[in-house]
Amino acid sequence: MKDAGMNIVRYGRMLYEKGLTNGTGGNISARVGDVMLITPSGSCKGMLDSTELVTVDIASGKALSGRPSMETPFHLAAYRNREDVNGVVHVHPRFCTTLACARIDVMPGLTPEGVMVLGKRVPTIPYATPGSNDLAEALGKEVVHADAFLLQSHGAIALGSDLKEAFHRLETLEFHAELQYHLMVLGKGDRLPEAEIRRILKE
Residues serving a catalytic function are 71
- In the bound state with Zn ion, the residue whose beta carbon lies nearer, of 40 and 155, is 155
Task: Please check whether residue 14 is in contact with residue 171, taking contact to mean a CB–CB distance below 8 angstroms.
Answer: no
Tell me the C-alpha to C-alpha distance, in Å, between residue 164 and each of 4, 78, 91, 117, 168: 11, 16, 15, 13, 6
- In the bound state with Zn ion, the residue whose beta carbon lies nearer, of 151 and 192, is 151
* Nearest C-alpha neighbor of 192 from the set 200, 182, 202, 203: 200
Three-state DSSP class for 143? coil
Q: How far is the CB of 96 from Zn ion (least distance, A)?
A: 11
Kindly indicate which of the ranges 52-60, 116-124, 151-159, 189-197 contains the residues binding Zn ion, using the contact rule CB under 5 A. 151-159
Kindly indicate which of the ranges 50-58, 95-103, 149-157, 164-172 contains the residues binding Zn ion, using the contact rule CB under 5 A. 149-157
- In the bound state with Zn ion, the residue whose beta carbon lies nearer, of 103 and 199, is 103
Q: How far is the CB of 41 from Zn ion (least distance, A)?
A: 12
Kindly indicate which of the ranges 50-58, 101-109, 152-160, 166-174 contains the residues binding Zn ion, using the contact rule CB under 5 A. 152-160
Sketch the per residue contact string, 102 through 141, with Zn ion: x for CB under 5 A, - otherwise: ----------------------------------------
Residue type, 199: R
- DSSP conformation letters of 173-184: HHHHHHHHHHHH
Q: How many CB atoms lie within 10 A of CB 182?
A: 11
Contact set with Zn ion (CB under 5 A): 155
